[in-house]
Chain A
Amino acid sequence: MECKTVIFSLSDYLDSQHGLVEGIEKRNIEDHLASCPSCRHLQLELMEIKTAARELPLRTPPRALWTRIVNEIEVEKVAVAAIGTVEPDPPGLWSWLTSLRYTFSLPQIAGVAALAIILVSITVINFRGNTNEMDFSRLQSALIREEMTKKAEIDRKMAAIEERKASWDPAFRADFDRQLNRIEDSIKQCRKNLEASPNDLNQVQRMLDLYEEKRQLLEDVERLKW
């Protein structure tokens, strides 16, 4: 066996505990290594690299990294909370009303103020118990909007992937299916949790994340496979 051939197979030989090089080829390489100091030295050097690679020390990032992470998470939380806020009405009638000039007497102003106080009190009493429900319904609408957008994109990608899936490497296909099933199971679980506790904002956020994870997985596969 020539040095060139041995060098070419040396990594496979080093990893041969995984059965990469077996039988006659393995014996030929060993015979060559026993008689060729250069190749034997190379084998030992590569073996040292392989061994040392598994023992490399862990490195420590700067302390500020945690602060950066917390800050980003806080910013995201604020953004998520803002999903449910209602867009302000465009200027129109109100601008027109405020642009007008009015002249009222003191009794007229006092009367209007009293009426306003009564109306506000009634409104507060009637709606105090419903505030959370209103916020939640806004969040639910936001979730449904987001779900519809992501689902449409996911369905498009899935259709394209299904057409090509049969030609993939079986191991890759199995890994893809496993990942997809895991996400879909999580979506089902999340939906159940939401039915049980419809006001759970974490579940709403998790549902959106799962759709995003699914979309991301399909996008990765699209990029990798064709």
Chain B
Amino acid sequence: MTVKEINNAKSDYDLTQASANGDMTAFELLYERHHRRVYSLCLRMVANATEAEDLSQEVFVQLFRKVGSFRGESAFTTWLHRLTVNHVLMHFRKKRVKLENTTEEGEIGEMQDIIQAVTDRPRFIDRIALDKAIADLPPGYRTVFVLHDVEGFEHEEVAALLGVSVGTSKSQLHKARLRLRDLINKGKPQRGS
């Protein structure tokens, strides 16, 4: 299948309707258009390539089952995005992944470390380093960071998806960003070495 064929194809909505009637060619086109986004989201949330592949597979099989219920009221990408996020969160619930807990003392200690550690600010964050640092985050921080900063969900949406308060979502995001900064700086070569 060529890029031209994909570009010349019908709209996402048309493809969903054809897929709902069992047209596998239409479904394959949907897959071609969206599989990288689904896989990237799964990969960033679980930080494990094998798990991300399994989850992407499950998402697309689920998509095939449910594609007829897409009514075109929102963009297909938004709909698929939410389907993917819900599926990964369900996977977390089965694995009992929880949001991170930090004590007040822990937070103060962390902040003092941050004040001490700020010396030489990097002018550019290497995206590969950021991707790696995201993978190294504790699962709870990673979930909130990926949903908010990578995928663009608002705190209210993150809170509703995770069943937590908006305040918790904000607090987890802040801690995730601080931890990322720390991980990125630790991964950088030291000055003069």
Contact = CB atoms under 8 A, between A and B. Distances in A.
Given A4-B108, A38-B115, A66-B28, A10 B174 contact: yes
A66 B31 contact: yes
A140 interface: no
Interface residues of B, number: 59
A202 B24 contact: no
A75 B111 CA distance: 54
A218 to B, nearest CB: 13
Nearest to A200: B21
Interface string B106-150: 011001101100100110110100110010000000000100011
A220 B115 CA distance: 41
Sort A-B residue pairs by CB-CB distance and give the 8 closest, nearest first: A224-B163, A11-B174, A53-B149, A61-B39, A41-B121, A58-B36, A38-B118, A59-B40
Majority secondary structure, A binding face:
helix
Contacts of A54: 149-150, 152
A52 B149 CA distance: 9
Contacts of A172: 160, 163
A193 to B, nearest CB: 10
A196 interface: no
A206 B22 CA distance: 11
Given A3-B115, A60-B36, A224-B163, A213 B122 contact: no
Nearest to A186: B69
A52 B145 CA distance: 12
A202 B177 contact: no
A175 B160 contact: yes
Interface of B: 20-22, 24, 28, 31, 35-37, 39-40, 43-44, 52-53, 56-57, 60-61, 64-66, 68-69, 71, 86, 90, 93, 107-108, 111-112, 114-115, 118, 121-122, 124-125, 127, 130-131, 134, 145, 149-150, 152, 154, 156, 160, 163, 170, 173-174, 177-178, 180-181, 184
Contact of A69 (B60, B114, B177): B60
Contacts of A55: 127
A183 B115 CA distance: 51
A65 B35 contact: yes
